[in-house]
């Protein structure tokens, strides 16, 4: 059901969710719990497999490790002590937990967005956001040609593999020789990429491109979508405000 | 613009590395004519097509399309008049979705929103891909990409269509569909191709290029019947033009391979 929702609504609500989560002050656990409940509801609506979601979002957790030093630097009730005078505090632990939970919730929502929305639709939504068009165009071109480039690299590697037959066991060429071949392939790929860029620019010019990125405007959001957006904004703003007022 | 003509007058062009691609090429295509450019690889066919759109500038001579000089002054109208389709659809389709790609040309012509949508729908309909508007270009098969690539210039409603190897890499059914389409479109057609049977089906006239020169031009049946001429220039006479007796031999040879004893059952 979430898959059919207009990408603009999804992108806006996801970013608002992340903003509200970020603004929630440390210690505002009731607010974080509500946000987590909201995230859970969204994941359930998205009909994604729990294992898939957990594995993918866990990938972001190592980044939260950057918060680990807080455990020792925040002063407060001592929890345990490490050699060389490192003292962990209860307050520090809470701060770290807070950051880990907030990071994970944000990643969870961003992941749900990308799992339920085609990338092309996200691009369209970003354009609606008055993001510099050139930037969006570059992202769009990168996305489009990433696949072509990967295919080209695969073809090169397949061609090498196909001609890398070995008649006598263990009489392959030296590492330096193979490194040179690989270097040649990388250079080849670069040149092919440059040629391709040239031809794409020709194709764009041939259809009238004048250096100014333009896009067809999107149809306006329906009343239902706008209501949903307003409701989402209101709810998230209330949560963030509650957090700031009572725990900030 | 009632005169959808192409005039190439004494055009020469050398690539930056000094290799001559076109030598004193002259060519006139009348309004509504369907002309094929044939010749071996490296004959200059694609280079000539790039000149029609001002993507390459002649080092000598001049190019006019629809009565407009192809030059810095009027690249806009020229590019709106000439729909150029590149050989590799991956070069032609640079947008994330099919819709955006087909809408690209009309968008840069400054058409209003509603017109753009009508044109995209019509162009996709013409190539039989009406349901593909929301698809991501990179997920399409080659045949689908080739058809969408054609749609990206049909949406320009061009006066002239310049196609580079439109049938290369297509399966027979897709190729049939393409020929069908090309015989029904209205613009003046200039097709660079190795597909000589397609030339026979679609074109009124054929121009043979080799080493950057126009060798001969004329009715496809006449030019391509000339076995000696075709072979000298790296081509061959298409089977449709093979005399009946010779064709009979070819057929017998082909069938003989099937009935030769033991050919299939042999271990």
Highest mean pLDDT among A40-49, A112-121, B21-30: B21-30
In this structure, are A39 and A109 located in the same domain?
Answer: yes
Lowest-confidence region among B90-94, B158-162, B212-216: B90-94
Query: Do residue A207 and residue B91 have CB atoms under 8 angstroms apart?
Result: no
More reliable by pLDDT, B148 or A144: B148
In this structure, are A120 and A145 located in the same domain?
Answer: no
The answer to whether A72 and A96 are in contact (CB under 8 A) is no
**pLDDT of amino acid B259:** 67
Percent of chain B residues past pLDDT 70, beyond the cut:
96
Of A119, A140, A208, the CB nearest to B109: A208
More reliable by pLDDT, A194 or A74: A194
In this structure, are A146 and A90 located in the same domain?
Answer: no
**pLDDT of amino acid A169:** 63
Give residues with Cβ within 8 angstroms of B144, minimum separation 6.
B129, B132
Query: How far apart, in whole angstroms, are the C-alpha atoms of residue B97 and residue A216?
Result: 12
Distance from CA of A141 to the nearest CA of B (A): 7
B chain contacts of residue A118, beta-carbon cutoff 8 Å: 136
Percent of chain A residues past pLDDT 90, beyond the cut:
13
Mutation site for B-interface testing, chosen from A118, A121, A193, A203 by largest number of B Cβ within 10 Å:
A203
A chain contacts of residue B157, beta-carbon cutoff 8 Å: none
Mutation site for A-interface testing, chosen from B72, B87, B108 by largest number of A Cβ within 10 Å:
B108
The domain tally of chain A equals 2
Across all residues in chain B, what is the average pLDDT? Answer: 89
Confidence grade of residue B17 (pLDDT, cut at 50, 70, 90) = confident
B chain contacts of residue A148, beta-carbon cutoff 8 Å: 90, 138
Examine the pLDDT at B265 and tell me if it is beyond 60: no
Query: How far apart, in whole angstroms, are the C-alpha atoms of residue A149 and residue A152?
Result: 5
Residue A212 domain-assigned?
no
Exposed, middle or buried, A237 (CB in 10 Å: 0-12/13-18/19+)? middle
Angle, CA A83 vertex, CA A82 and CA A85 arms, to 5°? 85
Q: Is A84 on the interface with B (CB under 8 A)?
A: no
In this structure, are A8 and A109 located in the same domain?
Answer: yes
**pLDDT of amino acid A7:** 85
Examine the pLDDT at B72 and tell me if it is beyond 80: no
- Summarised one tens digit per residue, pLDDT across range A125-182 is 887 777 888 888 888 888 888 888 888 888 888 877 777 766 666 666 778 887 888 8
Mutation site for A-interface testing, chosen from B80, B82, B90 by largest number of A Cβ within 10 Å:
B90
Q: Is A143 on the interface with B (CB under 8 A)?
A: yes
Query: Do residue A210 and residue B113 have CB atoms under 8 angstroms apart?
Result: no
DSSP tag of B156 = T
Q: Is B150 on the interface with A (CB under 8 A)?
A: no
Of B55, B116, B138, the CB nearest to A206: B55
Residue A214 domain-assigned?
no
Residue A160 domain-assigned?
yes
- Summarised one tens digit per residue, pLDDT across range B155-192 is 999 999 999 999 988 889 889 989 998 988 878 999 99
**pLDDT of amino acid A51:** 87
In this structure, are A119 and A143 located in the same domain?
Answer: no
Give residues with Cβ within 8 angstroms of B82, minimum separation 6.
A206, B52, B53, B65, B158, B159, B160, B161, B162
pTM greater than the 0.80 cutoff: no
User: Which whole number is the average pLDDT over B17-34?
Assistant: 92
Examine the pLDDT at B2 and tell me if it is beyond 70: no
Nearest CA in chain B to A193: B91
Give residues with Cβ within 8 angstroms of A23, minimum separation 6.
A240, A243, A244
In this structure, are A70 and A109 located in the same domain?
Answer: yes
Nearest CA in chain B to A218: B113
Distances (CA, A) of B30 to B62, B67, B212: 17, 11, 22
The token pair at A52 is: 């898939």
Mutation site for A-interface testing, chosen from B65, B96, B112 by largest number of A Cβ within 10 Å:
B96
Query: Do residue A208 and residue B76 have CB atoms under 8 angstroms apart?
Result: yes
Q: Is A199 on the interface with B (CB under 8 A)?
A: yes
In this structure, are A39 and A151 located in the same domain?
Answer: no
Examine the pLDDT at B45 and tell me if it is beyond 90: yes
Domain extent at residue A163: 132-206
Kindly list the structural domains of chain B, giving each domain's residue range(s) and its CATH number in brackets, ordered by start. Answer: 6-96+141-259 (3.40.50.300)
Adjacent-strand bridge partners of A139: none
* C-alpha A75: how far from chain center: 34
In this structure, are A7 and A49 located in the same domain?
Answer: yes
Residue A37 domain-assigned?
yes
Distance from CA of B201 to the nearest CA of A (A): 27
Tell me the three state secondary structure of residue B7.
Answer: strand
Adjacent-strand bridge partners of B20: B14
**pLDDT of amino acid B1:** 46
List B residues 165-194 in contact with A (Cβ-Cβ < 8 A).
none
More reliable by pLDDT, B186 or A15: A15
How would you label A171-201 residue by residue, b for 16+ Cβ within 10 Å and e otherwise?
Answer: eeeeeeeeeeeeeeeeeebeebeeebeebbe
In this structure, are A32 and A102 located in the same domain?
Answer: yes
- Summarised one tens digit per residue, pLDDT across range A188-215 is 888 888 888 888 888 888 888 887 777 7
A chain contacts of residue B99, beta-carbon cutoff 8 Å: 216
Lowest-confidence region among A203-217, B9-23, B114-128: A203-217
Give residues with Cβ within 8 angstroms of B67, minimum separation 6.
B1, B3, B5
Angle, CA B132 vertex, CA B128 and CA B90 arms, to 5°? 95
**pLDDT of amino acid B251:** 86
Query: Do residue A203 and residue B137 have CB atoms under 8 angstroms apart?
Result: no
In this structure, are A190 and A72 located in the same domain?
Answer: no
Residue A55 domain-assigned?
yes
Predicted ipTM of the assembly: 0.75
Task: Please report which helix (H) or strand (E) contains residue A61, including its range.
Answer: helix A61-64
Across all residues in chain A, what is the average pLDDT? Answer: 84
Query: Do residue A119 and residue B96 have CB atoms under 8 angstroms apart?
Result: yes
3-state secondary structure chain B: CCCCCEEEEEEEEECCCCCEEEEEEEEEECCCCEEEEECCCCCCHHHHHHHHCCCCCCCEEEEEECCEECCHHHHHHHHHHEEEECCCHHHHCCCCEHHHHHHHHHHHCCCCHHHHHHHHHHHHHHCCCHHHCCCEHHHCCHHHHHHHHHHHHHCCCCCEEEEECCCCCCCHHHHHHHHHHHHHCCCEEEEECCCHHHHHHHCCEEEEEECCEEEEEECHHHHHHCHHHHHHCCCCCCHHHCCHHHHHHHHHHHHHHHHCCCCCCCC
Confidence grade of residue B9 (pLDDT, cut at 50, 70, 90) = very high
In this structure, are A119 and A230 located in the same domain?
Answer: yes
**pLDDT of amino acid B208:** 95
In this structure, are A9 and A53 located in the same domain?
Answer: yes
Examine the pLDDT at A55 and tell me if it is beyond 50: yes
Query: How far apart, in whole angstroms, are the C-alpha atoms of residue B153 and residue A105?
Result: 46
Tell me the three state secondary structure of residue B130.
Answer: helix
Residue A211 domain-assigned?
no
A chain contacts of residue B55, beta-carbon cutoff 8 Å: 202, 205-206
Highest mean pLDDT among A81-90, A161-170, B44-53, B241-250: B44-53
């Amino acid at each position: 059901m979430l898959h059919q929702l207009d990408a603009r609504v999804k992108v806006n609500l996801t970013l608002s969710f992340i903003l509200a989560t970020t603004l929630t002050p440390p210690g505002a656990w009731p607010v974080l719990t509500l946000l987590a409940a909201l995230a859970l509801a969204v994941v359930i609506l998205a009909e994604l497999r729990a294992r898939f979601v957990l594995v993918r979002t866990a990938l972001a957790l190592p980044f939260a490790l950057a918060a680990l030093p807080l455990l020792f630097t925040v002063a407060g009730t001592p929890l345990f002590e490490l050699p060389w005078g490192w003292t962990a505090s209860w307050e520090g632990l809470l701060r770290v937990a807070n950051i880990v939970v907030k990071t994970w919730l944000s990643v969870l929502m961003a992941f749900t967005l990308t799992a339920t929305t085609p990338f092309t639709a996200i691009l369209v939504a970003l354009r609606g956001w008055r993001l510099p068009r050139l930037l969006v165009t570059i992202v769009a071109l990168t996305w489009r040609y990433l696949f072509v480039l990967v295919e080209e690299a695969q073809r090169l590697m397949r061609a090498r593999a196909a001609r890398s037959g070995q008649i006598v066991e263990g009489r392959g060429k030296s590492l330096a020789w193979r490194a040179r071949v690989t270097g040649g392939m990388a250079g080849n790929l670069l040149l092919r990429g440059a040629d391709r860029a040239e031809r794409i620019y020709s194709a764009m010019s041939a259809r009238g491109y004048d250096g100014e990125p333009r896009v067809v405007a999107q149809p306006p959001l329906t009343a239902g979508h706008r209501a949903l957006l307003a409701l989402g904004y209101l709810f998230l703003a209330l949560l963030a405000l509650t957090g700031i007022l009572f725990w900030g | 613009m009632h005169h959808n003509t192409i005039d190439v007058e004494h055009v020469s062009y050398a690539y930056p590395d000094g290799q001559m691609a076109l030598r004193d090429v002259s060519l006139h295509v009348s309004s509504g004519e369907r002309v094929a450019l044939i010749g071996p690889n490296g004959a200059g066919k694609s280079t000539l097509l790039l000149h029609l759109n001002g993507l390459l500038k002649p080092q000598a001579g001049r190019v006019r399309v629809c009565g407009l000089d192809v030059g810095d002054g009027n690249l806009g109208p020229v590019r709106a008049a000439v729909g150029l389709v590149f050989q590799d659809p991956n070069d032609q389709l640079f947008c994330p979705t099919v819709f955006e790609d087909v809408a690209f040309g009309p968008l840069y012509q400054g058409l209003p929103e509603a017109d753009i949508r009508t044109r995209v729908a019509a162009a996709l309909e013409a190539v039989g891909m009406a349901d593909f508007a929301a698809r991501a270009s990179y997920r399409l098969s080659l045949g689908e990409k080739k058809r969408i690539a054609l749609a990206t210039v049909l949406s320009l409603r061009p006066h002239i269509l310049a196609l580079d190897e439109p049938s290369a890499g297509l399966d027979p059914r897709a190729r049939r569909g393409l020929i069908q389409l090309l015989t029904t479109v209205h613009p003046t057609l200039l097709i660079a191709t190795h597909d000589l049977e397609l030339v026979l089906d679609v074109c009124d006239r054929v121009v043979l290029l080799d080493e950057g020169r126009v060798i001969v031009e004329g009715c496809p049946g006449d030019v391509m019947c000339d076995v000696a001429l075709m072979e000298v220039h790296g081509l061959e006479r298409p089977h449709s033009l093979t005399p009946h007796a010779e064709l009979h031999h070819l057929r017998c040879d082909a069938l003989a391979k099937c009935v030769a004893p033991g050919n299939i059952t042999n271990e």
